[in-house]
Structure 1
Amino acid sequence: MAALLYAAKAETCPYELVLVASNDPDAPGLAIAAAEGIATWARTHKGLNRDAFDTLVDEQLRAAGAEYVALAGYMRILSDDFVARWAGRMINIHPSLLPRYKGLNTHRQAIDAGDRCGGCSVHIVTPGVDDGPVLAQTPVSIVAGDTVETLSARVRIAEHQLYPPTLAAFVTRERNPDYLLGRVREIATALPEADEVSSHGMPCFGIVKGKKFAYFTQDHHGDGKIAILVKISGGDEQAALIEMDADRYYRPAYFGDGWVGIRLDLGDTDWDAIGDWLRKSWLAVAPKKLAGLMGAAEEF
C-alpha cells in the first residue's frame, strides 16, 4: 500500500489514492495513509458474515469515489458478489509466479520444490483465489541457503517495484490504443470466417475474400479519436445514435451514411455492447448462407 501511495505522489502518475480500507483497525498502513492525508476506513469483520462485511466495504469505496480497487495485503477471501461488483476493476499482488503456488505459504513451497525462482504476480481478481488473468510478474532468484524469511524479504522489494507501474498501466489501458485494438481484434476475429487486413491505413476486419464489417481508427485524418467504425442501416440510424450520445457516436469522414464511429477512448467502454455492434455489422455483410449457419448455431 505504501509503495502505491508514494508512487502516486509523482506528477506523472495516472492514479490517486482516495481511500485505504482494512478489516484490521490496527493495520500499520492506516496510520501511514492518514499521515499522508489519505482517507481511511477500518472495521473488524468479526460478528458480520462475509456478504454483510463486503457490502460495508463496497459502500465506503463508492462513497470515496473509487474507480478501481488495488488489494495490498488484504487477507480475507472476498464474496462472489463483491468481486462481481468490481469485475475488471480490481487487482491483487501475490507472492509467487502464478499459476504456481496459489494461496498461502508460497515461499516455503518454492524452496521445498527446488525452484530456481520465486517471485510475485499482479493479477485481475476473479472469484477463484489467485486465479485471475496475470498482468505482470517479477521473478526473484532463490539463492543457496535461502529461508522463507530471506526470500520473502527480496520478493517484497520486487512487489514494491512491480505493483505501482502495473496499476498505472491497468487504470490507463482503456485509453491505450494497443490494448483497445487487441480487444477489438479478439472479438472481431472470433466471428465466422473473419480476418484482419489493413485498409485506408487502418486495421480492418472482413469476411475472408468478402466485404469489410469494421475498421479500427486511431487519430484518422487527425480527428484525435480511437474508435471502431461499423455498418449501420443508414443516415437515420446514424443521426439517432449521434443525437443520443454525441460524445460516443460520430459520423466518420469519407465513409458515408452507412457507417458510424463508436469511440473506445472514453474510459468506460461497454465491451459487451461493442461485441453486439461487431456481430450486427458482420451480419450486414455476411453471405446469406453463412449468416444462416450462424443463426442456426446460436439457436442450437
Structure 2
Amino acid sequence: MTERAKVAVLISGRGSNMAALVYAAKAVDCPYEIILVASNDPEAPGLKLAEAEGIETFVHPHKGLKRSEHDQILHEAVTNVGAEYIALAGYMRILSDDFVSKWQDRMLNIHPSLLPKYKGLDTYQRALDADDTHAGCSVHLVTPELDDGPVLAQTAVTIMPDDTADTLADRVLIAEHQLYPAALTKYVSREADPNWILDQVRDRALALEETHERPSFGTPGWRVGSEKTGKYFAYFSRRHFGETGTSVFVKTSGLDEQSALLDADPDLYFAPKFYGKSGWIAIRLDTGRTDWGHVADSLKKSWRMVAPKRLTKMMDIADDF
C-alpha cells in the first residue's frame, strides 16, 4: 500500500463528521489518515473522541486574538504534525484569506445544502421555505468567499411532507457521514488517477501560446505552431512506448542536460526508451507528490526550444536583461 495522505481535521463542536472520517480511515485500503484534530474551543466534545481514538489534538481559543493571529497559530500546529490536507468538520470560525491561500486546493469543507443553493446558515429551513423537493449536502474546496469553492461531491436528500428543520437535519447528517469520507478518499487519490493527471498536463500545455494537441502513436502530444508545420514539445505516456507508469516527456537541451537530470533525481526522471537517445526526458507523474509548478516550467522550457522565433523573441530580449 502506498503512503497514506495525512489529514488534519478542524472542529468546533461534537465532531460527528470528524468521527465519520476517523472511522473510515480505519479501513486498510483507505488512502488517508487523520493525524490531528484541532479546535478553537477547549470544550468541543469531539476532542475527547479524538483522544480516545489515539489521535493527537490541539486547542487554542480564539478569544482575545486577531483572526490572523489565531489562524497563524492554527497553521503552525497543522504544519508541525506534517498534515498535507485540512478537512473542516463543523469548524465555526471564518478563516482568514491568508490562511485559505496557504492551503489552496488542500482544504475541504462539508456544507449542509446542495451548493450553490443556501450558503451560510439555516440551510434546512431555507430549503423548506422555498418548497424545495430536495435538500442535501456538498463537499467543496475552501476559497476565501464563504461556501463558494468548487464542489467535489453532493448527495441529495428528499424532503418529506412532514419535515421540520430538525428532522431534515437528522437525515442530511446521515448523508454527510457517508459523503465526506468518500469525497476525501477520491480527492487525496486524484494524483494516482491517469485521467486526472492527463487533464493537469493538458491544461498547462495548452496554456502556452499557439499550442494544440495532436495524438502521436496513440497517446496525446502537444505541438507549437501551425497545424501543418507545428513541432512537438511534449508527450503524455500512460504505459506507452514500452514504459511503465504515467509520465510526461519534454525536451532538454541535449544528452548532457538529460544525464545531469537523471543523476540529480533518478526517482523523478528517466530516459524514455523511444525518445531518450534524442535528449528527451520523462518526468514521473504518478508518485502522488507531483510538483505541478515544476511540470509547468518544464513544459514551457520545452515549448521554447521548438517554438517559432516570432514567439520567443520577446523572451530572448527579457533574458538579456
Indicate whether the TM-score tops 0.5. yes
Aligned-pair CA distance for 1:93: 0.6
2:250 is the alignment partner of 1:230 = yes
Taking a change above 3 Å as real, the CA distance of residues 233 and 45 of structure 1, as seen in their structure-2 partners, is same
CA deviation profile, 1:230-286 (whole Å, cap 9, x unmatched) = 122111221222222221122111202331111112222222232222223223233
Contact 1:3 1:164 in 2 (8 A): yes
Offset of residue 295 of structure 1: 9.0
Q: Residue 183 of structure 1 is aligned with which of 188, 200, 207?
A: 200
- Are positions 1:75 and 2:99 aligned together? no
Indicate the SS of the match to 1:115: coil
Secondary structure of 1:205 counterpart: strand
Question: For residue 233 of structure 2, what is the aligned residue in structure 1?
Answer: 213
Which residues of 2 match residues 1-300 of structure 1 at below 5 A? Answer: 1-207=18-224, 208-209=227-228, 210-221=230-241, 223-255=243-275, 256-291=277-312
- Structure 2: gaps (5+ residues): 1-17
Amino acid corresponding to residue 264 of structure 1 in structure 2: L
> What is the letter of the counterpart of residue 65 of structure 2?
L
Total equivalences in the alignment: 296
CA deviation map 1:183-223 (0-9, x unaligned): 11122223334332322232212243322221111233554
Contact preservation (8 Å) 2:270, 2:283: yes
1:169-188 residue CA offsets vs partner (Å, 9 max, x unmatched): 11111222111111111222
Question: What percent of counterpart residues are identical?
Answer: 56
Decide which moves more: 264-273 or 116-125: 264-273
Q: Which amino acid aligns with 1:61?
A: V
Contact 1:107 1:118 in 2 (8 A): yes
TM-score, normalised via structure 2 length: 0.86
Q: Aligned partners of 2:125, 2:242: CA distance in 1, in Å?
A: 55
CA distance in 2, matches of 1:123, 1:238: 41
Whichever residue aligns with residue 245 of structure 1, its letter is D
Please give the alpha-carbon distance, in whole angstroms, between the structure 1 residues aligned to 2:156 and 2:172.
8
Native 8 Å contact 1:238 1:257 kept in 2: no
- State the alpha-carbon separation in 2 of the partners of residues 8 and 279 from structure 1: 39
Letter in 2 for 1:78: L
